Amino acid sequence: MRLAGSDDPPFVVLGGLTRLFGLHAVTTAVGLPILVLAARSAAGVDRIEFIDALDGTAAGQIALGDWTANSGEFLTRVASLDGTPMVFGGFDYQPSRLWSIADGRVVGQWSLKRRRRELDLTSRAGRLVAVVAGEDSVDQLDAETGAPAGPQLWAGERTGLLRRCPSVRLRCVAAAGPHVFAGDAVGTVWRWDAESGAMSAMWPAIHRGPIVRLTASLTVGRTVVATVGSDMTASWWDADSGQQIVSAPLRYDMPRPLALGPNTLLVAGDARIQAFDAATGSVGEDLARWLLDDRPPDDQPMIEEMCAVDVYETPTVFAGTLVAIWRLPVL
C-alpha cells in the first residue's frame, strides 16, 4: 500500500500491529502538535504512544499491559482542560483512566457501574466530562472522578419501574456544544440537552441497520452530525433541522467521519479519503488515494483511524493503518 502520486514513505512506520484502538491529535500548552496512538502490538502488548506531529519522533509512552489481562475494546478520546491536553480511556470491565499527555501521569481513575458501548470526551464548565453510552441511556461523568457531571440521558419514555425503553440499544455517542447525540441499533439518532437531560429530538431510520460511527461538531451557525451505518453508507446531517446534507456509499468498514474546519467532512473508504462540502453536499477532490497490491481486498491494510491538527499553521490530516501513519497536508 502506497500513496498515489507520491514516492514519499509513510510519516511513521508502525510495524506489526494487530489492533489500532485510536489515533487522535492535540496541541500542547506550548503549541506542539502531538499524535496519540492507542494500539496492540503483534506480541500482544497494549500501549498509548505520543508522537511528535512535526517530525514523527517518539514523545512518550504509557504501558497498558498485554492481551492476557485486557479484554474487549480500548476506547480512547482526547481533550484539553485549561490548555493541558488529556487522554481518557479504558478496556471493557476495567477502570477508566485520565492521563496527562505532558508526563503520562494518571490524573483520575474510576470504574463504571455498567458496561459502556461507546464514549466521548468534552470540556464543559471548567472540567472534562466523559459522555458514556450504555444500553438505553447515556451517563455524563466527571472524567477525573467518575462523579455525575449532568443528568442521565434516557432514550425513549419510561415503560416500567426500572427501564425507560427496553427495545433501545445504543451503539455510539458524541457531544457537541450544549447537546449530546447517540445512535442506536435500528438506525435512529437521539439528541438531548446536556444540562437539563431532556430529549430534544429523535430522527428514526437514518440508516438501514445499526449506526456504528457517529461524530458531532460545531460549525458556523449550526451543529452537524456525521453517521456511518452498517448499511455501508456515511451521512452528514444538520442537527437542528434533522435534514440530510450528503450521503456517500462505502465498500469497507471505516473510521468515524472527520470534520475538518467548519464546512468539510472527510470519509475514509475504498482506499481513499473523500472530501464533502458540508454546506452543499457536493463532493470535492480526494484528499488522498492509495495504490493497493495484488492481495484480496479483505487483506489490504485499510485506513483504521483519522485525526487532524495544525502543523506549521497548515491543517494536516493523519491517517493510520495497522502498518503506518500517513501525513496529508490540506493545501
Q: Is the pLDDT of residue 138 over 90?
A: yes
Cα angle 226, 230, 235 (rounded to 5 degrees) comes to: 25
Residue 121 lies in a domain: no
Among 154, 156, 244, 232, residue whose Cα is nearest residue 193:
154
Question: What CATH number is attached to the domain comprising 104?
Answer: 2.40.128
pLDDT at 307 over 70: yes
Which range has the worst mean pLDDT, 47-56, 158-167, 264-273, 316-325?
158-167
Mean pLDDT of the 37-50 span = 94
Give, rounded to a whole angstrom, the gap between the first and last alpha carbons of the chain.
23
What domain range includes position 105?
1-111+294-331
Residues with Cβ < 8 Å from 250, sequence gap 6 or more?
228, 232, 233, 234, 267, 269, 270
Q: Mean per-residue pLDDT for 261-286?
A: 77
The dihedral built from the CA positions of residue 96, 97, 101 and 107, taken in this order, carries a sign that is positive
> Would you list the DSSP string of 39-70?
EEETTSEEEEEEEETTT--EEEEEEEEETTT-
Integer Cα distance of 20 and 34 in angstroms:
17
Confidence label for 119 from pLDDT (cuts 50, 70 and 90): very high
All three cell numbers of 154, joined, read 434516557
d(CA 288, CA 230): 24
Residue 275: pLDDT over 60: yes
DSSP-based three-state secondary structure for 298: helix
Give pLDDT, residue 293: 66
The letter for the amino acid at 117 is: R
The residue assigned the cell 451543529 is: 223
Q: Given this model, what pLDDT does residue 146 score?
A: 94
Q: Is 292 exposed, middle or buried (0-12, 13-18, 19+ CB in 10 A)?
A: middle
b vs e for 222-233, b when ≥16 Cβ sit within 10 Å of the residue's Cβ? ebbbbbbbebbb
> Is 136:169 a contact under the CB 8 Å cutoff?
yes
Mean pLDDT of 108-117: 85
Domain count within the chain: 1
Burial class (CB in 10 A: 0-12, 13-18, 19+), 295: exposed
320 part of a folded domain:
yes
* pLDDT of amino acid 179: 93
The CA-based dihedral angle spanning residues 275, 278, 283, 287, taken in that order and rounded to the nearest 10 degrees? -10
Asked, for residue 263, whether it belongs to a domain, the answer is no
| Residue 235 belongs to a domain | no
Q: In this structure, are residues 29 and 84 in contact, taking their beta carbons and an 8 Å threshold?
A: yes
21 band by pLDDT with thresholds 50, 70 and 90: very high
Cell numbers 470504574: residue: 111
Residue 67 clears pLDDT 90, i.e. is over it: no
Query: Is residue 198, in this structure, part of any structural domain at all?
Result: no
Report the distance separating Cα 226 and Cα 266, nearest Å. Answer: 10
Which comes out higher in pLDDT, residue 209 or 283?
209
pLDDT for 49: 96
Listed as own residue / partner, the contacts of 7-11 with beta carbons closer than 8 Å and 24 or more positions apart are 10/323, 10/324, 10/325, 10/326, 11/56, 11/318, 11/324, 11/325, 11/326, 11/327
Is 73 a member of any domain? Answer: yes
| Higher pLDDT among residues 149 and 302, named by residue | 149
What is the distance between the alpha carbons of residues 64 and 55, in angstroms, rounded to a whole number?
A: 25
What is the rounded CA–CA span in Å between residue 74 and residue 20?
A: 9
